[in-house]
Amino acid sequence: MTDSQDTSFGKPPPHSPNKSGRALRSTLAVALADTLSSRKLSQIDAARICATDQPTLSKVLKGHNVGVTVDKLFCWLAALGCDIEVHVNRAPGSKAGDVRAVIHD
């Protein structure tokens, strides 16, 4: 993982409610790839630890993560030794909030 990587996704437009979710899944997939690399794990070993199959893990690592939920990615990262924290803060005023992932090494 990178040193305090902050990825802001902003507000999704009204016609695209899943845009920020896709961006969050992509950022978590990058964290997953970084974790595998830093732990020197093969996809097969990582899939075993995450209780999934290697082809699914491979698709996520290649950016094809549409069928994998944020919850599942959190579980995989936790199984691989990452701490996950979720902070919910109120947006100033009455504006819509932002979705952001901050990855710390």
Q: Summarize pLDDT for 2-52 with one digit per residue, the tens.
A: 444 444 445 444 434 456 778 888 899 999 999 999 999 999 999 999 999
Residue 80 in tokens:
């691989």
Backbone angles phi, psi at 96, to 5 degrees: -70, 145
Q: Which of 16, 20, 48, 35 is nearest to 74 (CA)?
A: 35
- Arithmetic mean of pLDDT, 65-84: 92
User: Cα-flanking dihedrals φ and ψ of residue 101, to 5°?
Assistant: -115, 135
What span, in angstroms and rounded, lies between the C-alpha atoms of 34 and 91?
30
The predicted structure's pLDDT at residue 15? 37
Can you list the domains of the chain with their CATH numbers?
5-10+18-89+96-103 (1.10.260.40)
- Give the model confidence (pLDDT) of 22-33 as tens digits: 888 889 999 999
